[in-house]
């Protein structure tokens, strides 16, 4: 059979498969898809970096832009005295240079939160007239390596152009933690850059770094050596005089009634920081405004203190049995506190629920104390366990209401054994239970001694409540009737009941030095 031939006219090309045929699309995708995918990744990364918040070097803040001066700083006289030399150097550097003295490169303010470390740094800048550069160390921590170190360099370069200047780095522990402890490389690079910048100071310059941290023990040792942070200033919670001065600062400009006794408020706020006191003054003004008064009265400060210490008043409604249990529980606390000689007097008792507490007992310290004996700590645990003991004696059962009391007793008894070496065995040895550097036998001995202290306090609470059951009933019945008992009513109920003079265990007085923040409040 003859074959058929297709004759194509000149100038015409035979038609091929359409452009959208699968073979053509597949070939096109294999060629261009990887390139398009890479372009998309580049665009996404570029937009991400563009949209990320950029931390520029801290803006220049002349001291004239802030009104915080020495007059606004109260309750930190020791810290102010140390920082006054920085102020004098920045004001008149030549006077120090003639004697060969140089300004400290760095000052580290450390202490509990709310004690005024940032305010002190602002006051130094204000008093010295130096430019103030403030930056949080947390802002140096970035997802991409190298950005934190770059920001450190830019911050110091900008500050050097505006000498005299002060760089304030808050939350230094965010980047200054000890290296080699599992930190990411970005934090370590940022810390290394900070160390390099502080080493690169010109000794004749007028640039000072002030840093603040709440965790001094976690900072890298390289930061704390002389030549970087030459001075370490502990900013402690204020004493009673300092608290009164802080209250005077925060009530400045507020309409205070003549009957307001700031000294009494200061005595009631042992252990509180400047931030807490500022909050109390503000809450007192809010209470006065809520009551539509033109002046702040003492009742407003009392309500503000309860609001800050005990929490806001709860709307929970207790049934009659629960009210009785809470009343006897709080009466047990108050009775033990009134009977024991080494415990602060009770200022107020309440069975009105506040915060998570169904009731509370406020004690009024007569003075600030910085040392506690073994017997004083046991007396304090006795007061804490007085509520549990009252429940057992009156109702023959125990409830969940003593959870916070038991937790505090465990903390105190553990500190007595492990931190203060107040036990009967190896009493001169401080044991680091967290580090695991002790034997199992020593751990068992310490646990037994800790339990012995708690048991001794509970037995004492049972004895006091059993021997003075009439006073317990009087306190509880008054609470059930009035819900709140003030100091005057407590004194009238306890009139004629002598305080118990307990002998000293062991025949001697053992005193332990503790930090103010560790004292029971």
- Say if CB 191 and CB 149 are below 8 A apart: no
- Tokens 């520029």 appear where? 56
186: left (phi over 0), alpha (psi -120 to 50) or beta: alpha
What 3-state class would DSSP assign to 345?
Answer: strand
For helices 298-309 and 274-290, give the axis angle rounded to 10 degrees. Answer: 120
Nearest to 180 by CA among 192, 168, 165: 192
For 508, phi then psi, to 5°, come to: -145, 170
Neighbours of 186 (CB within 10 A): 19
Per-residue CA distances from 28 to 18, 22, 25, 35, 269 (Å): 14, 10, 5, 11, 78
What 3-state class would DSSP assign to 495?
Answer: coil
306 is catalytic: no
Residue 269 contacts by C-beta under 8 Å, 6 or more apart in sequence? 243, 276, 277, 280, 305
Give DSSP secondary structure letters for 256-286.
B-TT--HHHHHHHTTT--HHHHHHHHHHHHH
* Letter string b/e over residues 30-48, b meaning 16 or more CB atoms within 10 A of that residue's CB: eeeeeeeeeeeeeeeeeee
What does DSSP assign to residue 418?
Answer: I
Per-residue CA distances from 82 to 32, 40, 246 (Å): 68, 57, 19
* Letter string b/e over residues 378-387, b meaning 16 or more CB atoms within 10 A of that residue's CB: bbbbbbbbbb
Which tokens hold the place of 442?
């020593």
CA 432 to chain centroid: 24
CA separation for the pair 282, 285 (Å, rounded): 5
Neighbours of 439 (CB within 10 A): 8
- Say if CB 181 and CB 191 are below 8 A apart: no
CA separation for the pair 48, 296 (Å, rounded): 52
- Say if CB 254 and CB 281 are below 8 A apart: yes
Out of 306, 330, 338, 391, the active site residue is 330
* CA count, 13 A, side-chain hemisphere, 430: 7
CA 219 to chain centroid: 17
Residues forming the active site: 330
């Amino acid at each position: 059979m003859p074959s058929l031939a297709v004759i194509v006219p000149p100038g015409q090309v035979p038609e091929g498969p359409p452009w959208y045929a699968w073979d053509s699309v597949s070939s096109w995708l294999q060629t261009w898809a990887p390139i398009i995918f890479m372009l998309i990744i580049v665009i996404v990364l570029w937009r991400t970096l563009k949209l990320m918040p950029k931390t520029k070097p801290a803006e220049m803040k002349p001291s004239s832009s802030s009104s915080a001066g020495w007059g606004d700083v109260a309750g930190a006289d020791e810290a102010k005295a140390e920082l006054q030399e920085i102020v004098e150097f920045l004001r008149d550097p030549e006077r120090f240079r003639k004697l060969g003295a140089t300004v400290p490169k760095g000052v580290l303010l450390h202490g509990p939160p709310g004690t005024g470390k940032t305010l002190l740094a602002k006051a130094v800048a204000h008093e010295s007239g130096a430019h103030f550069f403030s930056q949080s160390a947390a802002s140096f921590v970035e997802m991409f390596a190298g950005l934190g170190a770059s920001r450190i360099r830019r911050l110091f370069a900008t500050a050097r152009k505006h000498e005299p200047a002060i760089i304030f780095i808050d939350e230094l522990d965010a980047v200054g933690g000890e290296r080699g402890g599992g930190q990411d490389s970005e934090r370590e690079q940022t810390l290394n850059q900070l160390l390099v910048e502080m080493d690169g100071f010109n000794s004749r310059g007028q640039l000072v770094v002030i840093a603040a941290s709440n965790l001094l023990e976690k900072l890298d040792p390289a930061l704390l050596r002389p030549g970087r942070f030459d001075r370490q200033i502990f900013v402690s919670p204020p004493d009673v005089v300092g608290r009164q001065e802080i209250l005077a600062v925060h009530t400045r400009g507020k309409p205070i009634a003549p009957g307001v006794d700031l000294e009494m408020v200061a005595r009631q706020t042992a252990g509180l920081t400047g931030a807490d006191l500022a909050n109390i003054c503000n809450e007192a003004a809010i209470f006065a405004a809520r009551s539509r008064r033109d002046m702040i009265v003492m009742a407003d400060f009392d309500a503000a203190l309860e609001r800050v210490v005990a929490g806001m008043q709860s709307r929970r409604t207790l049934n009659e049995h629960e009210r009785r249990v809470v009343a006897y529980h709080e009466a047990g606390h108050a009775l033990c506190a009134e009977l024991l000689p080494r415990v602060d007097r009770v200022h107020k008792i309440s069975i009105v629920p506040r915060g998570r507490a169904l009731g509370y007992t406020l004690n009024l310290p007569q003075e600030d104390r910085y040392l506690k004996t073994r017997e004083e700590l046991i007396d304090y645990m006795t007061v804490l366990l007085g509520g549990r003991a009252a429940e057992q004696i009156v109702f023959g059962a125990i409830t969940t209401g003593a959870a916070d009391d038991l937790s505090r007793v465990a903390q105190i008894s553990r500190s007595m054994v492990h931190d203060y070496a107040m036990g009967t065995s190896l009493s001169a040895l401080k044991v680091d239970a967290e580090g695991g550097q002790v034997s199992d036998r020593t751990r068992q001995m310490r646990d037994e001694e800790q339990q012995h202290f708690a048991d001794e306090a509970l037995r004492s609470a049972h004895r006091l409540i059993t021997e003075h059951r009439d006073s317990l009933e009087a306190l509880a019945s008054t609470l059930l009737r009035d819900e709140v008992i003030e100091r005057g009513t407590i004194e009238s109920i306890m009139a004629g009941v002598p305080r118990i003079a307990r002998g000293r265990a062991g025949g001697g007085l053992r005193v332990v030095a503790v930090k103010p923040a560790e004292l029971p409040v």
